[in-house]
């Protein structure tokens, strides 16, 4: 056991990895349509309370969005779908560059072109019914805010405030 990690941290990491694998297996089963062929509770262990890791706040939100993402999380999704899923998971606005890093970590296979951050920014900006650029914070979901607040954000022109 590494000296720099305590047993609680190791347990939390092991449980997180197990949950990621269970999710990945479920996605694969759904893709090939073999959910019915899997015996119930095969290889599953009763879920125990997961100790909060340093990356997760008491409200279940993640202080570092990269810790909320696991390989394969965005497999087969568009950039818009993956970004919405990411924002729902972390519950806070995220800058374009960090969203791009999370999408890559999550296995998004979309090509970024010569300017992947600018392309992602444009995709999110065109999808105004789902995303809003919160000044000095990054992209958030429209559903998190009142219409008057969204109008104020858009009037302020958040383009200058988002570090691409």
pLDDT at 144 (0 to 100): 93
State the pLDDT at residue 10. 79
**Global pTM?**
0.60
Please name which of 76, 158, 90 lies closest in space to residue 124, comparing C-alpha atoms.
158
pLDDT at 62: 60
pLDDT of residue 120: 92
pLDDT number for residue 79: 93
Per-domain residue ranges for the chain? 1-57, 68-158
CB 12 within 8 A of CB 53: yes
Give dist(CA 99, CA 97) in Å, integer. Answer: 5
Mean pLDDT by 10 residues, the chain (164 residues): 68 79 74 55 43 45 80 91 94 94 86 83 94 93 93 74 50
State how far the Cα of 88 lies from the Cα of 8, in Å rounded to an integer.
27
CA distance 140 to 134: 7
By three-state DSSP, how is residue 132 classified?
Answer: strand
């Amino acid at each position: 056991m590494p000296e720099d990690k305590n047993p609680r941290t190791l347990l939390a990491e092991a449980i997180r990895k197990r949950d990621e694998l269970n999710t990945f297996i479920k996605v694969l089963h759904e893709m090939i349509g073999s959910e019915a062929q899997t015996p119930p509770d095969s290889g599953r262990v009763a879920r125990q309370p997961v100790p909060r890791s340093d990356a997760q706040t008491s409200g279940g939100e993640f202080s570092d969005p990269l810790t909320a993402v696991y390989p394969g999380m965005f497999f087969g999704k568009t950039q818009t779908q993956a970004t919405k899923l990411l924002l729902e998971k972390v519950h806070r606005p995220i800058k374009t560059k960090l969203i791009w890093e999370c999408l890559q970590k999550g296995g998004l296979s979309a090509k970024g072109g010569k300017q992947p951050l600018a392309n992602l920014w444009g995709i999110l900006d065109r999808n105004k019914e789902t995303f809003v650029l919160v000044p000095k914070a990054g992209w958030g979901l429209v559903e998190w805010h009142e219409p008057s607040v969204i109008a104020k954000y858009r009037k302020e022109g958040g383009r200058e405030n988002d570090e691409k």
